[in-house]
Amino acid sequence: KVNNGFPYSNGAIKPHFTPSLNSFINLDQGDPEVFAPYWRKKSEECTVVIKGSDLMSYMSDMTNVCWFMLPELRDAIRRLHHVVGNASAGMDKHIVVGTGSTQLFQAALFALSRSSDPSNHNPINVVAAAPYYSEYQDEVEVLRSGLYRWGGDARVYDKNEEYIEVVTAPNNPCGSIRRAVAMARSEGDELGKLIHDFAYYWPQYTPITEEYDHDVMLFTFSKCTGHAGSRIGWAIVKDIEVARKMTRFIQMSSIGVSKESQIRVAKIIGVICDSYQKIGSSLQSDDLFFEHSKRMLRERWDKLRAVVDKSNIFSLDKYPKNYCNFTRQNSETYPAFAWIKCCGAIEDCESYLRSLKVYSRGGKRFGVDGKYARVSLLCRDEVFNEFLTRISNARLQV
């Protein structure tokens, strides 16, 4: 069957079906189902009521650069960053809301791709250090834009031309914490601009080691809480002109962002922040979203490592421990994806996993070799457990 890029379209099991021996399990996409049981417990608290006459206008706040963003969402985003301490989002920063950070990535490319030299009409090169998030290249190339083009692996980029480097930290697919590499090599030259994609810079995935303050920082609600279906992302932008151009791009592509989604996200962020302000009263730590979801991910990583340690086929990298300013504990990174390497004899990890009826995404999509494959760890419990069973039963005959 053709895989058109949507979950479950390739014959894999559908939500709420228990995997049987013959069904494929789809760990290709990072659909964040692991957080659903937590939100099921919080259903009532997070309910929003929207009346027939509510939210009808295109406009939200015409005094703000991002005029379609509801003030309650803007305030909730600032409050969340203040509580978590992962990014500086004070009043001196501009927040632009988007339909997922996917739209904001493209808006940022649009805003940053104008050359400082008006006589230069060449498309600007977009680079990222391999292994890089597979969608960047597709999103850059899909429209064959005259403004920007894919420039490949930032580590080997050596053109004396303007470029935009995307820095993903923690990185998708491999979970490492990254800094700009092309810019570092050229010692902060005038040619490079940066987009920081912080989709996974939340306490359940990695220790919060610093409050970042970069020019353009992208966040997504999809990975923060798991509400991917609301399609809300936001950018924190220093330069008002960049924020204006990003807003203009979103106006051109969708005249704003669903207000139903904005209201829902503002409500859920409010529930999270309120719960942290109540710590020490009646709440148990497992009632707190980031503590709860970190425990879920840590348990999955512990189980996965135990299986991989016994395997003569698969291996995984180790992550360094760091002090987390948010949880005030030392902890490891627990990435949303496992970046699995197959041993010597197996050249194509994705195909090997497919022979175990597991869909994954092979290393080549991320700009590296096929010995690696990315496997989502954000699936439901039954699917995760079935995945462990399948890889623990696999042994190479020696």
The single residue among 86, 220, 230, 261 that binds ligand PMP, judged by CB under 6 A, is 220
Asked if 168 interacts with ligand PMP (CB under 6 A), we say yes
The single residue among 10, 64, 88, 102 that binds ligand PMP, judged by CB under 6 A, is 102
CA distances (Å), origin 48, targets 44, 52, 79, 263: 9, 13, 19, 8
Asked if 30 interacts with ligand PMP (CB under 6 A), we say yes
- Count of residues of this chain found to bind ligand PMP when the rule CB under 6 A is applied: 13
Asked if 246 interacts with ligand PMP (CB under 6 A), we say no
178 vs 167: CA distance, rounded Å: 7
* Closest to ligand PMP by CB, 275 or 360: 360
- Tokens 């419990």 belong to residue: 381
Asked if 258 interacts with ligand PMP (CB under 6 A), we say no
Interface stretch with ligand PMP, choices 56-64, 220-228, 257-265, 303-311 (CB under 6 A): 220-228
Determine how β-strand 94-99 pairs with β-strand 372-376.
Answer: unpaired
Nearest partner of 384 among 315, 295, 301, 319, judged by Cα: 301
Rounded (10°) CA dihedral 140, 144, 145, 148: 50
* Closest to ligand PMP by CB, 163 or 366: 366
Asked if 197 interacts with ligand PMP (CB under 6 A), we say yes
* Closest to ligand PMP by CB, 86 or 172: 172
Q: How many residues does the chain have?
A: 398
Asked if 172 interacts with ligand PMP (CB under 6 A), we say yes
Interface stretch with ligand PMP, choices 47-55, 82-90, 94-102, 150-158 (CB under 6 A): 94-102
Measure the CA angle with vertex 257, ends 251 and 259; round to 5°. Answer: 140
* Closest to ligand PMP by CB, 26 or 168: 168
CB of 202 closer than 8 Å to CB of 162: no
First to last CA, the chain: 34
Determine how β-strand 322-324 pairs with β-strand 329-331.
Answer: antiparallel
Interface stretch with ligand PMP, choices 98-106, 177-185, 276-284, 348-356 (CB under 6 A): 98-106
Residue numbers at the binding site for ligand PMP (CB under 6 A): 30, 100-102, 133, 168, 172, 197, 199, 220, 222, 228, 233
